[in-house]
Amino acid sequence: MSPCSRRLGAGVLAAGLIAPLPALSHAALIEAEAVQAIRLQALYDTGEPMAGAQVVIFAPGAPAEAWGRGSTDAEGRFVFVPGPEEGRWTVQVRQAGHGAMAHVETGAAAPVSVASAAAPGWADRAVTIALVAWGALGTALFAMRGRRRSDASS
Amino acid sequence: MRRLLVAAAVAALAPLTATAGSLTLFASGEDLATEGFAAPKLTRDGWALEFTRILATFDRITAFQTDPPFMADGPAIAGTAVALAGPFTVDLVDADARDLVELATVHAPEGHFNALAWALVPATGGEAAGYSLVLEGIARRDGQEVAFALATADSVMHACGEYVGDARKGFVTAGGAAELEITLHLDHLFGRADKPADDPMNLDAPGFAPFASGGRHALSLDGLHLGHVGEGHCHVTML
């Protein structure tokens, strides 16, 4: 945990200890840490974003099984934090009968992007997935601890 | 002595057998071939199409294991190759419940076959002789019914990347069976009424209007890009 996120966590903890709690409130613990994430953008060859497209992620150790799923945002972007497995992470993006794959290597070597390619002049909407970023993103992890009525009133 | 030679031959083949699986190649025109263009999936100009047969001839087929993965960005694919002897002429309307027609099954080494080269070529014999793709059927619109036959003699080479669909395909394991698929997207020829008129596919697709007089018409595949691997794309070269 970075010094900054440590300070944030400590501050939240301190606030929880000092502030009076309503009888039915919940105690909250927020831990923040910086993690490395892969951010992609999926576009049609017209430049139009693939907004709301289906995303399936495949991990290096089990490339035939879906490791995670999601969908792109309005700009065709998708961010995910890969697991600890080093190797080739594959992302498949599909929408309305069009699809493409992208591959990102993780590990000792710097990440390598192999984006899908689209030849100009194709007669349909070819798809391009490009690696936009590989880097540290601040992510807050929320841990909610419920308080029973007896705990709250004690 | 003969028994000894046989035993030696089996021993020599054993490592290959132990590390090989099978790879089956299918062709598909998807549900648009088997069920036709029916509402709301009419052609971009509003015709309903019912196909009686779609004869396609495939040849020069090679499956590849490529690393880094081939991304369909050129005509040349490099990697571990397995050839599938052709040509194969099949009727894409006469498909199984998954809209697939089996072309061939071959032994293949373990690994991920993530690229596929294939060509549509004119058949050298049979009912489709001289043509690489023949589409026959009935078109209907506003009470009008038109029997049609569209045929092309074009030869088109495809260099495709990985199959894209509901599941990844092409993973050959020891003793296991894997599949690959050649897919023809017929909506790139006829367009789709259930998609926006300004969809690039609809802008480029001829639709059915050029053939609405009925009878037999010559068809050019140049620029249509019917060939895919599932939803995955292919680099196309007119031969």
CA quadruple A54, B41, B181, B238: dihedral sign: negative
Is it the case that residue A10 has pLDDT exceeding 80?
Answer: no
| DSSP letter, residue A15 | H
Question: Which tops the pLDDT comparison, A103 or B28?
Answer: B28
Is it the case that residue B146 has pLDDT exceeding 90?
Answer: yes
**A106-149 residue pLDDT tens:** 877 666 666 665 444 444 456 677 766 666 554 443 333 333 33
Please tell me the predicted confidence (pLDDT) of residue B4: 38
pLDDT mean across residues, chain B: 91
Across the interface, whether the CB atoms of B231 and A94 are under 8 A apart is answered yes
pLDDT mean across residues, chain A: 69
Across the interface, whether the CB atoms of A94 and B185 are under 8 A apart is answered no
**B84-99 residue pLDDT tens:** 988 999 999 999 999 9
Please tell me the predicted confidence (pLDDT) of residue B216: 97
Cα–Cα distance, A131 to A104 (Å, whole number): 8
Q: CA A60 → CA A81, A108, B172, distances in Å?
A: 14, 14, 16
Cα–Cα distance, A99 to B160 (Å, whole number): 13
Cα–Cα distance, A136 to A2 (Å, whole number): 12
Of B12-21, B111-120, B154-163, B203-212, where does mean pLDDT reach its minimum?
A: B12-21
Judging contacts by C-beta atoms under 8 Å, the chain B residues touching residue A101 are: 69, 161-162, 164, 232
Please tell me the predicted confidence (pLDDT) of residue A125: 55
In this complex, is the C-beta atom of B225 within 8 Å of any C-beta atom belonging to chain A? yes
Residue B184 lies in a domain: yes
**Three-class secondary structure assignment of A47-84:** CCECCCCEEEEECCCCCCCEEEEEECCCCCEEEECCCC
- What residue has token string 């032994």? B107
Question: Which tops the pLDDT comparison, B235 or B199?
Answer: B235
In this complex, is the C-beta atom of B79 within 8 Å of any C-beta atom belonging to chain A? no
Mean pLDDT value of segment B170-183: 96
Is it the case that residue B8 has pLDDT exceeding 90?
Answer: no
Please tell me the predicted confidence (pLDDT) of residue B231: 92
Across the interface, whether the CB atoms of A101 and B112 are under 8 A apart is answered no
Mean pLDDT value of segment B155-168: 96
Of A2-6, A137-141, B124-128, B165-169, where does mean pLDDT reach its minimum?
A: A2-6
Is it the case that residue B31 has pLDDT exceeding 70?
Answer: yes
Cα–Cα distance, A92 to A112 (Å, whole number): 16
**Cα angle A77-A137-A141, degrees, rounded to a multiple of 5:** 105
Which candidate from A101, A115, A126 shows the least CB-CB separation from B162?
Answer: A101
Across the interface, whether the CB atoms of A99 and B69 are under 8 A apart is answered no
CA distance, residue A2 to nearest chain B CA (Å)? 36
How is domain A3-153 classified at the CATH fold level? Immunoglobulin-like (2.60.40)
Is it the case that residue B138 has pLDDT exceeding 50?
Answer: yes
Residue B102 lies in a domain: yes
Quote the tokens at residue A102: 């992208």
Across the interface, whether the CB atoms of A99 and B232 are under 8 A apart is answered yes
**A59-114 residue pLDDT tens:** 999 999 999 999 999 999 999 999 988 888 999 999 888 888 888 888 776 666 66
Q: CA B107 → CA B102, B170, B179, distances in Å?
A: 15, 13, 12
CB neighbourhood size of B121 (10 A): 23
Size of interface A-B (CB pairs under 8 A): 69
Q: Strand, coil or helix: what is A10?
A: helix
In this complex, is the C-beta atom of A127 within 8 Å of any C-beta atom belonging to chain B? yes
Task: Name the pLDDT band for A35 (thresholds 50, 70, 90).
Answer: confident
The distance in angstroms from the start CA to the end CA of chain B is 53
Judging contacts by C-beta atoms under 8 Å, the chain A residues touching residue B232 are: 99-101
Task: Name the pLDDT band for B44 (thresholds 50, 70, 90).
Answer: very high
Cα–Cα distance, B16 to A30 (Å, whole number): 56
Task: Name the pLDDT band for A5 (thresholds 50, 70, 90).
Answer: very low
Which candidate from A116, A122, A124 shows the least CB-CB separation from B71?
Answer: A116
Please tell me the predicted confidence (pLDDT) of residue A36: 80
CB neighbourhood size of B6 (10 A): 10
Across the interface, whether the CB atoms of A64 and B168 are under 8 A apart is answered yes
Is it the case that residue B17 has pLDDT exceeding 60?
Answer: no
Of A35-49, B29-43, B124-138, B170-184, where does mean pLDDT reach its minimum?
A: A35-49
Question: Taking the mean position of all CA atoms in its chain, how far away is CA A76?
Answer: 14
Q: What is the largest CA-CA distance in chain A?
A: 72
Across the interface, whether the CB atoms of B164 and A101 are under 8 A apart is answered yes
Which candidate from B171, B225, B232 shows the least CB-CB separation from A123?
Answer: B225
Please tell me the predicted confidence (pLDDT) of residue B26: 98
Q: Strand, coil or helix: what is B114?
A: coil
Of A13-17, B136-140, B180-184, where does mean pLDDT reach its minimum?
A: A13-17
Burial (Cβ within 10 Å: 0-12, 13-18, ≥19) of residue B226: buried
Question: Which tops the pLDDT comparison, B187 or A44?
Answer: B187
Please tell me the predicted confidence (pLDDT) of residue A98: 81
Across the interface, whether the CB atoms of A123 and B230 are under 8 A apart is answered no
Q: Which pairing describes strands B111-112 and B156-160: parallel, antiparallel, or unpaired?
A: unpaired
- Summary count for chain B: helices (H), strands (E): 4, 15
Across the interface, whether the CB atoms of B231 and A98 are under 8 A apart is answered yes
Hey, which residues 153-192 in chain B have their CB within 8 Å of chain A? 161-162, 164-165, 167-168, 171, 185, 187-188
The domain of B59 spans 21-238
Strand partners, B144: B141
Cα–Cα distance, B95 to B77 (Å, whole number): 29
Q: Is there a cis peptide before residue B75, judged by omega within 30 degrees of 0?
A: no
Is it the case that residue B204 has pLDDT exceeding 50?
Answer: yes
Total domain count, chain B = 1
Mean pLDDT value of segment A25-53: 84
Cα–Cα distance, B157 to B226 (Å, whole number): 11
Is it the case that residue A3 has pLDDT exceeding 60?
Answer: no
In this complex, is the C-beta atom of A130 within 8 Å of any C-beta atom belonging to chain B? no
Across the interface, whether the CB atoms of A101 and B232 are under 8 A apart is answered yes
Q: What percent of chain B shows pLDDT beyond 90?
A: 85
In this complex, is the C-beta atom of A107 within 8 Å of any C-beta atom belonging to chain B? no
Cα–Cα distance, B229 to A2 (Å, whole number): 46
Positions of E strands within chain B: 20-28, 48-65, 80-84, 88-91, 101-109, 111-112, 115-120, 133-141, 144-152, 156-160, 171-172, 177-184, 215-218, 227-228, 234-238
Hey, which residues 4-43 in chain A have their CB within 8 Å of chain B? none
Q: CA B155 → CA B52, B115, B132, B134, distances in Å?
A: 23, 20, 7, 13
Half-sphere exposure of A142 (CA within 13 A, CB side): 5
Residue B113 lies in a domain: yes
Across the interface, whether the CB atoms of A100 and B199 are under 8 A apart is answered no
Task: Name the pLDDT band for B122 (thresholds 50, 70, 90).
Answer: very high
Query: Any alpha helices (H) in chain A, and if so which ranges?
Result: 3-18, 149-153
